[in-house]
Structure 1
Amino acid sequence: MTTEAERWTPPSGRNAQLQAAGRWWDVVRVPRFIGKRALELLGDDAGAVIENPFDGVLYWLIVPGTAAEWDLSRLPSVEVWGATAYIEVPSADCRRGPGVRWRVPPRDRYLTDPAALLAALLTATREALGPREGASR
């Protein structure tokens, strides 16, 4: 069965496009200093990742609604954006340059498994910021 998420493709051409979250994917917005470590932890399990060097953030794309139960108090620098958010999505082949680009380009899949991403973010956050109060170890 084909879902809306499976039909999405990044923009073609030379320019990035502003696209709405919540239909094909939700966005997990992570500061670069935490996101770089999360990428290392995920390895080949990372889906496509957008880098916005102007804001110093990385964006992971996940199935809409799958992070609704995340306890973001354990991830104080992480935000999950859904249907009310728009992000700049680079063209399919934009991997360098001064603007928004693919840190991990879309391959056979562009979505990251939310459970794997959550585990990587919890570890990366704990390493960068120390343990959070009330967080299980």
Structure 2
Amino acid sequence: MSEGDRSQWQRFAEQARAGGLYLDDEAAALQALGACNRRIDDLQGLADLAKRCQNVSGFGDFDMADVLAGKFRKQAIGTDSSIDAIIAKDVEVVKDMRDIMAISIARLRGQDYTNSAAITAIIDSVGE
């Protein structure tokens, strides 16, 4: 997801926390919250794979092989455009989406949603 998407979902989450944005269908919000939890789990699995990709080898024992291994390693982890950084940004976007759904559920149930503990409790109660 692009940085513009990230800031847009951040703004949506801030609007939800301020009470200005919510989904008015509890069943839909529950389904979306569950989908967000599954997506976060999937992305964390990809992040684990990306970490394993930092161990690049098998190109031979000459200088050019070391340069090539370094280029592949940089694509996996350690830079702003490496796959681990991209996955981390995506996780943050999905967390904002999930928070919006949890806040929506709380509002519809008449629960407090003004602190992170309340939001976490709602997210945990959905499970999956």
User: What TM-score do the two structures reach when normalised by structure 1?
Assistant: 0.21
More helix by share: 2
User: What TM-score do the two structures reach when normalised by structure 2?
Assistant: 0.22
More strand by share: 1
